[in-house]
Amino acid sequence: MKGMDAHLAELSKSIDPAILGQRLRNARVAAGLTQTEAAAGDASTAYISRIEAGQRRPDLKLLGHLAQRLGTTVEELLVGITRDQRAELRLELDYAELALSSGNPQDALTRTGAILNQLPDAGITELERPTRFLNAFALEAVGQLDDAILALEELTNQPPTDLDWMRGLIALSRCYREAGDLAMAINVGERASDTIEEQGLAGLNEAMQLTLTIAAAYFERGDTGHAVRLCKKTIKQAEKLDSPTARGSAYWNASVMFSRQGSLQEALSLARKAIAIFEQDFDARNLSRLRTELATMQLRLDPPEAVEAKAILEVASREMDWTSASPMPASPAQSRAWASPTPSVANEPATSAREIEDQD
């Protein structure tokens, strides 16, 4: 409670007086009181008039008296919504995040849009910022890349440089790559690299995932050697920091790159390592797609590893049934659990277990 009081005291000193004045006037009119009745001896009628006109900013004590008389709260006057309304919006944001992670980006887009429409003019940073990021991620997931890029550019150009900022950069680079602008996809990471180092963020999973996303863009541009080196560098860093998520991501990205280059044995080795890590703590929907890609690699061998591929596809099929996942391998917009996999094997048709029965 003390923390809230301190927050309100600080906000009472910084809020735009025009916004506060309008809210106070609306509350007074709703209460059916004149300015004199609202003042009730705590301030002059002229002073209340100046507050409502946005010419004065009352101290917290006077604001408390006015709020009580008008049947509202200091928090509602300063923030624009009640504590209960804010809790409801925060719960709605949780539902939106769940919708996106469950593969329903359109629902996430609808929910985040509704939240943003309900936030007051002054905004609530702890709600507005994460909602805008999630809205941008949903725009990417439904394929509105231009809108997602515009939103993410604006968000990542503003402080603070926290985890949301990092995830925004990953998504921004991915959007540029999906839109075919590989130079900008690479530029995003290079532009942020100094800030990441200065802020001590280089050891975070998100920083390593950003590196892998940039590596994917390099690979798509044809700088395959540099892309693979970035993956190997990330693997070493992830192993040093004992980061399973980043290590599995690096294994997978490197695997897909080696697969496209035709180095299938090395690709398979890395893919198996990645899946072993992801099986420990990874959602079945995306894991099923990775298994499908692994099986596709096995069928490209000469001779193909048909028996093992069939068994893997049967497991993947069961996982897809559990989660209603698409049989297509994971695309960058569909998965945020790791840095976006390079769309190489993902461009090849998925193979079902029934299609390889004759190869047993």
CATH of the domain at 223: 1.25.40.10
DSSP 53-70: TTS----HHHHHHHHHHH
| Residue after which a domain boundary falls, among 64, 80, 96 | 80
Where do the DSSP E strands lie in 97-247? none
Give the residue among 191, 231, 187, 189 at the shortest CA–CA distance from 341: 231
Residues 14 and 47 in one domain: yes
Q: Kindly report each contact of residues 89-92 with a partner whose C-beta sits within 8 Å and lies 24 or more positions away, as own/partner.
A: 89/115, 89/118, 89/119, 89/127, 90/127
Asked if 145 and 157 touch (Cβ cutoff 8 Å), the reply is no
Whether residues 135 and 173 fall in one domain: no
Given this model, what pLDDT does residue 124 score?
A: 66
Residue 260 has pLDDT above 60, yes or no: yes
Same domain, 147 and 18: no
Among the ranges given (174-178, 324-328, 337-341), the one the predictor scored with the smallest mean pLDDT = 337-341
Query: What pLDDT band is residue 323 in, cutting at 50, 70 and 90?
Result: low
Is 231 in the same domain as 313? yes
Query: 226 phi and psi, to 5 degrees?
Result: -65, -40
Torsion from C-alpha of 160, 161, 166, 169, nearest 10 degrees: 80
The residue range of the domain holding 159 is 143-359
Last residue of a domain, one of 34, 49, 80: 80
Residue 252 tokens read as 């997978």
Average pLDDT value for the chain? 83
- Both 321 and 344 in a single domain? yes
Q: Are residues 29 and 147 in the same domain?
A: no
| Total number of domains constituting the chain | 3
Co-location of 175 and 262 in the same domain: yes
pLDDT(267) > 70: yes
Are 154 and 286 in the same domain? yes
Q: What average pLDDT score do residues 81-110 get? A: 90
Judge whether residue 44 has pLDDT over 90. yes
For the cut 80, the answer to whether the pLDDT of residue 204 exceeds it is: yes
Spatial separation of the C-alpha atoms in residues 126 and 101, rounded to whole Å: 21
212 and 249 in a single domain? The answer is yes
Condensed to tens digits (0 to 9), the pLDDT of residues 290-321 reads 888 889 999 998 899 999 999 999 988 887 77
At residue 118 the predicted structure's pLDDT band, cuts being 50, 70 and 90, is confident
Tell which of 40, 62, 80 closes a domain. Answer: 80
136 and 160 assigned to the same domain: no
Do residues 350 and 290 touch, judged by C-beta distance below 8 A?
no
- Closest by CA to 23, choosing from 84, 75, 89, 85, is 75
Q: Which of 5-14, 139-148, 222-231 has the highest mean pLDDT?
A: 139-148
Task: Supply angle C-alpha 36, 62, 17, rounded to 5.
Answer: 90
Same-domain status, 152 and 136: no
Lowest mean pLDDT among 22-31, 262-271, 276-285, 314-323: 276-285
- The beta strands (E) that lie in the chain are given as none
Do both 233 and 148 map to the same domain? Answer: yes
- The CATH number for 31's domain is 1.10.260.40
303 cis-preceded (ω within 30 degrees of 0): yes
Q: What is the pLDDT of residues 214-238, one digit of tens each?
A: 999 999 999 998 999 999 889 888 8
